[in-house]
Structure 1
Amino acid sequence: MANTPQAKKRIRRNARRTEINGARVSRIRTFVKAVEAALASGDKAQAEEAIRRVQPELMRGVAKGVVHKNTASRKFSRLSKRVAALS
């Protein structure tokens, strides 16, 4: 158990950050799922619109430190490839 005031503050801060970061990751997942749903329905216009919304969300996650840069790039690349394959 934390004894020093600094350690106690760290526990409080970590709990707040965990909640905020969890919300950020959840938001990114929601946007990715919108692209997945558009791909499943086969609607190219809807998929392209959804992918335009995903890209800034992924990059925001990178900037905030909740997603690694290469992970975001990989996810975006794979989604883009799948959207481009729709015809």
Structure 2
Amino acid sequence: MPNIKSAVKRVKTTEKRRALNASQKSALRTAVKAADLAVEGTEVETAKAVIQAASKKLDKAVTKGLVHKNAAARKKSRLAKKLNALSAQV
């Protein structure tokens, strides 16, 4: 444990941010996984709604600095591509 007051505060702050980032990143991964599973089903409308929610979470993660903008764009693009393939089948 650090002795200097500012270093003690930095340790507390860092731990708090790390925990918050971890939970937000976990929620993001869960949303993307749910969107992937929804696309594998047959319900187009349900998949569309779930993908829209995942896209919103991805955009939010970019603004908070959790994910790089190109990574988020890549994930959104892949989800949209799968949704379009599902729409074409039905």
Identity across matched positions, percent: 38
What RMSD in Å do the two structures reach over aligned CA positions? Answer: 1.2
Aligned structure 1 segments of 4 or more residues deviating by more than 6 angstroms:
none
- Paired residue total: 87
Per the TM alignment, residue 37 of structure 1 is displaced from its structure 2 partner at its CA by 1.3
TM-score, structure 1 length as denominator? 0.90
> After the TM superposition, which residues 26-45 of structure 1 pair with which residues of structure 2 at under 5 Å, given as runs?
26-45=26-45
Per the TM alignment, residue 39 of structure 1 is displaced from its structure 2 partner at its CA by 1.6
Structure 1 runs not aligned, ≥5 long: none
Structure 2 runs not aligned, ≥5 long: none
Distance 1:70 1:79 in 2: 14
TM-score, structure 2 length as denominator? 0.88
Distance 1:40 1:56 in 2: 20
- 2:24 — aligned with what? 24
